[in-house]
A and B are shown apart, each in its own frame.
Chain A
Amino acid sequence: MKEKRTLQGVAGIMGAFFRDHQRMPTYTEMMTQLNVRSKSAVEFWVKKLLSNGILKKDKKGFLIPLRPFLGLPIVGDVAAGFPSPAEEELRDVISLDQYLITRPDASFLLKVTGDSMIGEGIREGDLVIVEKGRSPKTGDIVIAEVDGEWTMKYFIRKGKTIVLEAANPKYPPIKPRAELRLGGVVTAVIRKYHQ
């Protein structure tokens, strides 16, 4: 029997493909995925997905998925009561590792030794996850080398100049004179209270 295609169903198929392949299918691949025989049928469904805001076209005209359609289902915000088992089955789980570390191949651990970020709640002995190769935005916490010393500071861009600010009044803001060497951007903080 021929199955009736629904918008949800088609979105689901493409979502699954994207999750498996980390890219959108081509029209030819969509033909097999959707079990249709022509590209115009594919086009029909793509248009529907576009008009419903599930897909978007980028500048070059390639399809890109929008967030809600693929966002990793995280085991939800804690609401009152217990989730029903049926609901839970629909959800994928991620480990604490995956939650804390977005780019595992670019992330490093660093043990904090100073108190320059105490106002941010980062204490001596805490572990921070440092991601190499990420370009920092204003407000990010970065590991940077200034005049031969390594520090952890807020990264703040004011017009063309860059200021490194501590979260501790003890340390004045630093304006790197020469080139700023970045060790990475802090993406998470870990503190363990018990062994």
Chain B
Amino acid sequence: MSDILFSLHSWPQAILHIDGDAFFTSCEEAIHPELRGKPIIAGGERGIVACASYAAKAMGVKRGVPLHEAKKKCPGLVILPSDYETYSLFSRRMFNVMRRFTPQVEEYSIDEAFADITGMRKAHRASYETIALNMKAEIVKELGITVSVGLSLTKVLAKVASKHQKPDGFTPIPGRMIAKYLEHLPVEKIWGIGHATTNYLNKMGVRTALAFARLPEDTVRKRFTKPGMEIWRELRGESVYPVNQEEKSTYASISKTKTFSPPSNNADYLFAHLMRNLESACLKARNYHLAAKRIVAFLKRNDFSYTGREIKLNRPSVYPMELSPELRHIFVDIYRPQDLYRATGIVLMELTKDANIQYTLFEDALKAERVHDIYRVMDEVSEKYGKHSLHLGASHLIEVFGRGRRGEATAREKTRFPGETKRRHLSIPILHVKV
């Protein structure tokens, strides 16, 4: 079955996907050489495994499990707090190395990126495979981390390829070989195919990516939505999704969640956390000139179960001052004093451009304008003195009780060079070796 041809040409386009291998812990191994090859995890501050090194994975430590469980599985486990500052420096470097080979690079997430290298063979005097391998080699050499590279005709196929061999893998899937790689791939492993679509496909008797790609066009058009159709075409080697080099300029939703420790049932403290999440989410939304029409607030219990409510606003807003009474209502509604909570969260949804907010008929427009002015000043203050240096009284308890951070400070936080402040650090990763 694997000799089915989707594309006669090997490389009508060449798109590659680079995926960091256990990215957070790989960065830690690069700056702490003595940890190389040891079982380590990042995520200590959250009490769960955010990322496990391959040595830890080999001992059965999985992402998302609580620390005490991970420790039981692997007694010598090194637990580190996540050092996002260092990880994003590595991330930026990875993207910079990729840009040496082509300007068309899409930063997909902190540890993943796409690059379109179509037409670059002449410039580099090398085949697409060689370009991809050179890119990989430079990342490994200069950053000291390994990545897995997938090279194919479309973004969906490039993702299939980069996952095919991990860690430190390189998998090219030229047009003629597509079927071979899709033959044994379960549909739920395809990028963009979720739980619901998987179930639906399975009911149709479609279990592998190849079976999906072989469905007749009519069937796909009739039975699936537009994204389903697009994935079907991408799987067949027809590039639908462009590699988008623009920075993300808009969001469908913005969410902020913070886990604290120890868990708490103190109503004021919990509400302060909820309020702080609202302030953070609104700040981000204001930076992108967005306003929310719907807001979800939730509490996460100590047993990892959730409780939450949603509010629909009569007009979009991004000002915690306007939203706090609503938030209070939700909180009173969902909070139970007998439960212990470990996290709170806020999601802003139905985001619209904040330029065209229409005040409602029975509203005091003058007051709304005043709130708008206050936040303009508040944003200037936080620009200068740091996020949340001005905040609402309701979230102030966090400053009093501390942020409930678990575990140690990161190695970067413990290092301060002359002239650095807590908020301003040199933008170069630090090697932590004693010489």
Residues on B with beta carbons closer than 8 Å to the beta carbon of A104: 96, 428
From A107, A113, A133, B435 is in contact (CB under 8 Å) with A113
Q: How far is the CA of A31 from the CA of B415 in the complex (A)?
A: 55
Residues on B with beta carbons closer than 8 Å to the beta carbon of A132: 141-144
Residues on B with beta carbons closer than 8 Å to the beta carbon of A114: 434-435
B93 in contact (CB, < 8 A): yes
Q: Mark A116-137, 1 if CB is under 8 A from B, else 0.
A: 1000000000010110110000
A111 in contact (CB, < 8 A): yes
B417 in contact (CB, < 8 A): yes
B291 in contact (CB, < 8 A): no
- Partner-binding segment picked from A2-10, A32-40, A63-71, A143-151: A143-151
B142 engages A133 (CB within 8 Å): yes
Q: Mark B21-37, 1 if CB is under 8 A from A, else 0.
A: 00000000001011000
Q: How far is the CA of A105 from the CA of B97 in the complex (A)?
A: 7
A41 in contact (CB, < 8 A): no
Per the 8 Å Cβ criterion, residues 394-428 of B in contact with A are 415, 417-419, 426, 428
From A23, A105, A110, B433 is in contact (CB under 8 Å) with A110
Residues on B with beta carbons closer than 8 Å to the beta carbon of A106: 93, 141-143
When A111-B430, A143-B435 are in contact, do A105 and B31 touch as well, CB less than 8 Å? no
Residues on B with beta carbons closer than 8 Å to the beta carbon of A23: 123
* Residue in B closest to A23 when the chains form the complex, CB atoms: B123
Per the 8 Å Cβ criterion, residues 128-152 of B in contact with A are 138, 141-144
Q: How far is the CA of A105 from the CA of B30 in the complex (A)?
A: 14
Q: How far is the CA of A76 from the CA of B277 in the complex (A)?
A: 52
* Residue in A closest to B139 when the chains form the complex, CB atoms: A105
* A12 shortest CB reach to chain B, Å: 24
Residues on B with beta carbons closer than 8 Å to the beta carbon of A116: 435
A55 in contact (CB, < 8 A): no
* Residue in A closest to B97 when the chains form the complex, CB atoms: A105
A112 in contact (CB, < 8 A): yes
Most B CB atoms within 10 A — which of A23, A150, A181, A192? A150
* A150 shortest CB reach to chain B, Å: 4
* B111 shortest CB reach to chain A, Å: 16
Residues on A with beta carbons closer than 8 Å to the beta carbon of B93: 105-106
B186 in contact (CB, < 8 A): no
When A105-B93, A192-B418, A195-B419 are in contact, do A143 and B431 touch as well, CB less than 8 Å? yes
A109 engages B435 (CB within 8 Å): no
* A129 shortest CB reach to chain B, Å: 8
Q: How far is the CA of A105 from the CA of B93 in the complex (A)?
A: 5
When A132-B143, A195-B418 are in contact, do A109 and B433 touch as well, CB less than 8 Å? no
When A132-B142, A133-B141 are in contact, do A109 and B97 touch as well, CB less than 8 Å? no
B167 in contact (CB, < 8 A): no
B415 engages A111 (CB within 8 Å): yes
Q: How large is the interface on B (under 10, 10 to 19, 20 to 34, 35 or more residues)?
A: 20 to 34
B429 in contact (CB, < 8 A): yes
* Residue in B closest to A184 when the chains form the complex, CB atoms: B431
* Residue in A closest to B144 when the chains form the complex, CB atoms: A132
Q: How far is the CA of A140 from the CA of B430 in the complex (A)?
A: 20
Most A CB atoms within 10 A — which of B93, B123, B415, B433? B433
When A105-B96, A105-B142, A132-B143 are in contact, do A110 and B419 touch as well, CB less than 8 Å? no
* Residue in B closest to A186 when the chains form the complex, CB atoms: B435
A109 engages B426 (CB within 8 Å): yes
Residues on A with beta carbons closer than 8 Å to the beta carbon of B430: 108-111
Q: How far is the CA of A109 from the CA of B431 in the complex (A)?
A: 6
B429 engages A108 (CB within 8 Å): yes
* Residue in A closest to B415 when the chains form the complex, CB atoms: A111
A103 in contact (CB, < 8 A): yes
From A103, A110, A192, B431 is in contact (CB under 8 Å) with A110
A108 engages B435 (CB within 8 Å): no
* Residue in A closest to B90 when the chains form the complex, CB atoms: A105
Q: Mark A174-188, 1 if CB is under 8 A from B, else 0.
A: 000000010110000
* B433 shortest CB reach to chain A, Å: 4
Residues on B with beta carbons closer than 8 Å to the beta carbon of A111: 415, 417, 430
Q: How far is the CA of A69 from the CA of B433 in the complex (A)?
A: 41
Residues on B with beta carbons closer than 8 Å to the beta carbon of A11: none
* B227 shortest CB reach to chain A, Å: 35
Residues on B with beta carbons closer than 8 Å to the beta carbon of A103: 142
B141 engages A110 (CB within 8 Å): no
From B34, B418, B419, B431, A108 is in contact (CB under 8 Å) with B431
Residues on B with beta carbons closer than 8 Å to the beta carbon of A112: 435
Q: How far is the CA of A114 from the CA of B435 in the complex (A)?
A: 5
When A106-B143, A114-B434, A127-B417 are in contact, do A150 and B33 touch as well, CB less than 8 Å? yes
Residues on A close to B: CB < 8 A?
23, 101, 103-114, 116, 127, 129-130, 132-133, 143, 145, 150-152, 181, 183-184, 192, 194-195
Instruction: Show 30 residue pairs from A and B whose CB-CB distance is below 8 angstroms, ordered by the A residue.
Output: A105-B93, A105-B96, A105-B97, A105-B142, A106-B93, A106-B143, A108-B428, A109-B417, A109-B426, A109-B429, A109-B431, A110-B430, A110-B433, A110-B435, A111-B415, A111-B430, A113-B434, A114-B435, A129-B428, A130-B431, A132-B142, A133-B141, A145-B33, A150-B33, A150-B434, A151-B435, A192-B418, A192-B419, A194-B418, A195-B419
Can you list the 7 inter-chain pairs with the closest CB atoms, starting with the nearest?
Answer: A106-B142, A133-B141, A152-B435, A150-B433, A110-B431, A105-B93, A108-B431
Question: What 16 new A-B contacts, CB under 8 Å, besides A104-B96, A112-B435?
Answer: A101-B428, A105-B96, A105-B97, A109-B430, A109-B431, A110-B431, A110-B433, A111-B415, A132-B141, A132-B143, A132-B144, A143-B435, A145-B33, A183-B33, A183-B431, A192-B418
